[in-house]
Amino acid sequence: ITLPDRDELRQPFRDICETLGLAGTILLSHEGINFFLAGSRKGIDSYLEFLAQDQRLADIPLKVSYSDTQPFRRMLVRLKTEIISLGRPEISPADFTGEEIAPQHLKAKLDADEDVVVLDTRNEYEIRIGTFEDAVDLNISSFRDFPDAINNLPEEMKEKEIIMFCTGGIRCEKASAVMLNAGFVNVKQLKGGVLGYFEECGGDHWDGDCFVFDRRVALNPQLEETDHELCFACREPLGQEELNSEDYVIGQSCPHCA
């Protein structure tokens, strides 16, 4: 969707979230909206009713998970040039993007050991927490590195079926467009991302947990919070092995920054 009235939307969104006691982040861009919100069930339902009043936003796909605690510290409504920063203004998912593939369809392909390339579009620190078995890792530290990273893929991969994934599906809207623009002919994106796959298929063909961008740090395939933590100093996600390392000092350092 496009939101030419992006700036005018900021205050109404801020007001409704404060009224309903929600916390999290809403990103508003001329290219669309993205939000991560938490609150009471009644508050979230009321927010969705508010959202549905704008026909452009009425049918936005949602991913719902449950938490015993509030995973966000405050409520922010931010104006952004891009929902996910890529630095390539010629790439517009509203104009063209990769075909979606349902989680169950991907699972069926993996069950049958079909000749497909499963491509992880996420950052290196996210992939360390978990990824699909045999997924291609581009070893990037920022999504802005993605366009250059795919140039290093084998030329013959341009003719193969590529199924890419990210946490919730947002990054793949742009990543798939980048790949199509670069000459990859059969590019699909996992509908709902990893979290959507967990919801429908559990942990089949997945190794580890999934990093998330809130205080929960990571979720397992049952969509439950894990024991991962973030390093206070460098903000790297840490598993039990790293938390047990002699280089881990609470509030000071971890094996990645010591």
Tell me how far apart the alpha carbons of residues 229 and 19 are, in angstroms, rounded to a whole number.
31
Question: CB neighbours (10 Å) of residue 97?
Answer: 19
Instruction: Give the pair of three-digit tokens for residue 112.
Output: 């049958």
State the amino acid at position 85 in one-letter form. S
Active-site residue identified among 17, 166, 201, 210: 166
What one-character-per-residue DSSP string does the chain give?
A: ---TTHHHHHHHHHHHHHHHT-EEEEEEETTEEEEEEE--HHHHHHHHHHHHTSTTTTT--------SS---SSEEEEEES-SS--S-TT--TTT--PEEE-HHHHHHHHHTT-S-EEEE-S-HHHHTTEEETT-EE---SSGGGHHHHHTTS-GGGGGSEEEEE-SSSHHHHHHHHHHHHTT-SEEEEETTHHHHHHHHHTTTTEEE-EE-SSTT-EE-TTS-B-S-EE-TTT--EE-HHHHTSTT-BTTTB-TTT-
- CB-based contact 21:43 (threshold 8 Å): yes
Catalytic (active site) residue 166: yes
- CB-based contact 77:28 (threshold 8 Å): yes
Residues with a known catalytic role: 166
